[in-house]
Structure 1
Amino acid sequence: MGNSSRRAAVALGAAAAGVAVWSTLIERRLFTVRRHTLPVLPADAAPIRVLQLSDLHLAPWQTNKINWVRSLADLRPDLVVLTGDLMGHLQARHALLQALQPLLSETPAVFVHGSNDYYGPIWKNPVKYVLEPSRSSTREPDIDNVALTRGLEQLGAIDLNNSAIALTVRGTKLELLGLNDPHIRYDDADAMREALAALPSDSTGAAGDGSTGGAPAPLRIGVVHAPYQEPLGALLSEGTDLLLAGHTHGGQVRVPGVGALTSNCDLPTSQARGLSVWYDAHRAAFLNVSAGLGNSIYAPVRFCCRPEASLLTLESAQS
């Protein structure tokens, strides 16, 4: 091997080592808030700040993440939406509730579950992860999901799994529709529609034209963990204005100039992180896919994809 080849090999090795150190020890701890402003509210409505948290994959020893999540209460959101995969270890429930307590004790909140709120983490082949979604519910659930749900509800959060609720936030009527995790086929759109139909008649426009007499129709927000196309379509068909999801980790490893290599579902990789539009022949809605705050303890890596919370400011289109 010549000197030039040797130098190239050394440089390549140093670069690879640098990427490994950055992605495993540094970037995955650089928590950030990704902010978007969406013109979806009626005229003259007060802005609504929605904080979306997803994919914490929390382990009990992750004190930096716990403290950072607790600090998000300083943002003073008007609504908190938890889009699943909050648990990252069988013994993480107490630490998770401690992390969320400052947020949920003062702010209206809703949640849906992800697969990791039922199943503890296991090692998975990373090549298979990139090539196809790891879609399975064949294992026996080993996380106490009932206790997790009860704990979140005791903090004041509302269970939105296969359900719907009406809220008024800063004077604006909201309807929130949620599905349990499609990644493990726990979603039930019919149950969600039944819950939506059972909402008070003064909440839902009965005329079918988006109106409630002289008042604006409620803003509809659809919530799901894994943004598979079919459940996104089910939420969109109910007239949602905004869709919130997680699951993808933004690809977790993104190639500069290329982006995410996988969304771990059938969502196009171009929409695996951030704000985009989801539409069909009849309707369209904003779609925010959070890259999330964590990763499996068996895949402790993030590259060009910082862990994030999303702060969405909803405002009047006239603004």
Structure 2
Amino acid sequence: MWQPCPVPLTRILGLGALAGLGLAGYAAAEARSYTLRRTELPILPPGHPDLRVLHLSDIHMTPGQQAKQAWLRGLADLEPDLVVNTGDNLSHRTAVRPVLDSLGPLLERPGVFVFGSNDYFEPTLRNPLRYLLPDDGQRNIHTPQLPWPRLREGFLEAGWLDLTNTHERLEVGSTSFAFAGVDDPHLGYDDLAAVAGPADPEADVRLGVAHAPYLRVLDRFALDGYDAVLAGHTHGGQVCLPGVGALTTNCDLEAARAKGRHRHPAASRPGDPGSTWLHVSAGLGTSPYVRFRVACRPEVTLVTLTGR
């Protein structure tokens, strides 16, 4: 009688190790496959010429990331009408100059920004599996601060507007923008009372800006009549499964809206009162300790604003 030959344990372990190395190699390559995404938001007045907004988020720069720096410099060729930076630019105390140099001519474009937790505090090595567990409320605020004031100074010197818990107006060509922005909601730094109130009805476009897309922030901007909200923070899930998508967003936004263009509330339609468009960038970087992404390439998005 035929009996199967048992497979030696060493062979099983060897195959598992090879598979693990293959997955790690793929994830490392994916994290360096910088990608330009394109999408549209129909929020301009009817008949208004289209505008192009470059949405940057979660660069997580370290000085040695030469390929990332070169790729960022090339984005200036897109000649966007407006740049929106939704934070987490830094991952190292000496990364301010590489960030400013990489953005280069983009800093000559009209721009606005908010900061995220990784602009404020040095990153720490964390177990990635913790992101799949319920939020325990602990935040990384005990490591040394990063030189975010120097980054802010560089952005301001270039003419970009700081939207930290405030409103701003900006004319981009013949288009008037009304902005409301908040400091990082992931750290609880957002001051919604400071930006609450109806969005400016005289502006051509009304945009809310935040680093982390927490529901309390999205609800506030939607109820106040902002046409769209731009955010980052989620890394698109960073590790996604084919056919499933993101497993986590690292905030209370559901995983189905971890990246890309959506509505808020999720079930609303354009024109519904108290609703808005939402664009979440999957971001360009990773933790400097674990430079892996799976089925979720690092990205910057060119958002074309079109007529309503």
TM-score by length of 1: 0.87
Corresponding residue of 2:252: 266
Letter in 2 for 1:118: Y
Match status 1:304 vs 2:288 = no
Structure 2 unaligned segments of length 5 or more: list them: none
Corresponding residue of 1:231: 217
Q: Is the 8 A contact 1:177 1:192 kept in 2?
A: yes
Match of 1:116 among 111, 115, 118: 118
Letter in 2 for 1:113: F
Q: Is the 8 A contact 2:122 2:143 kept in 1?
A: no
Match status 1:47 vs 2:50 = yes
Match of 1:251 among 237, 243, 255: 237
Shift of 1:88: 0.9
Q: SS state of the match for residue 154, structure 2? A: helix
Letter in 2 for 1:122: T
Q: Is the 8 A contact 1:56 1:293 kept in 2?
A: yes
Q: Is the 8 A contact 2:196 2:220 kept in 1?
A: no
Q: SS state of the match for residue 236, structure 2? A: helix
Q: Is the 8 A contact 1:30 1:306 kept in 2?
A: yes
- Hey, what's the Cα distance between the residues in 1 that align with 2:88 and 2:129? 21
Corresponding residue of 1:222: 208
Q: SS state of the match for residue 29, structure 1? A: coil
Deviations 1:196-219 (A, max 9, x none): 88xxxxxx33xxxxxx5xxxx531
The 1:135/1:273 distance shift into structure 2, 3 A limit, reads farther
Supply the RMSD in Å over aligned alpha carbons. 2.1
Shift of 1:129: 2.0
What is the number of equivalent residue pairs in this alignment?
Answer: 298
Kindly, what percent of the aligned residue pairs are identical?
Answer: 43
Deviations 1:275-302 (A, max 9, x none): 1111278421111111100011112110
The 1:112/1:96 distance shift into structure 2, 3 A limit, reads same
After superposition, residues 1-319 of structure 1 pair within 5 angstroms as: 2-3=6-7, 11-24=15-28, 26-105=29-108, 107-133=109-135, 135-136=138-139, 138-139=141-142, 141-193=144-196, 204-205=200-201, 212=202, 217-279=203-265, 282-317=273-308
Q: Is the 8 A contact 1:165 1:176 kept in 2?
A: yes
Letter in 2 for 1:288: H
Structure 1 unaligned segments of length 5 or more: list them: 198-203, 206-211
Shift of 1:37: 1.4
Q: More displaced, 237-246 or 13-22?
A: 13-22
- Hey, what's the Cα distance between the residues in 2 that align with 1:67 and 1:20? 24
Deviations 1:124-150 (A, max 9, x none): 121212213465254265112222211
Shift of 1:5: 8.5
Q: Is the 8 A contact 1:135 1:183 kept in 2?
A: no
The 1:135/1:43 distance shift into structure 2, 3 A limit, reads farther
The 1:137/1:282 distance shift into structure 2, 3 A limit, reads farther
- Hey, what's the Cα distance between the residues in 2 that align with 1:187 and 1:93? 23
Letter in 1 for 2:259: R
The 1:193/1:71 distance shift into structure 2, 3 A limit, reads same
TM-score by length of 2: 0.90
- Hey, what's the Cα distance between the residues in 1 that align with 2:145 and 2:139? 14
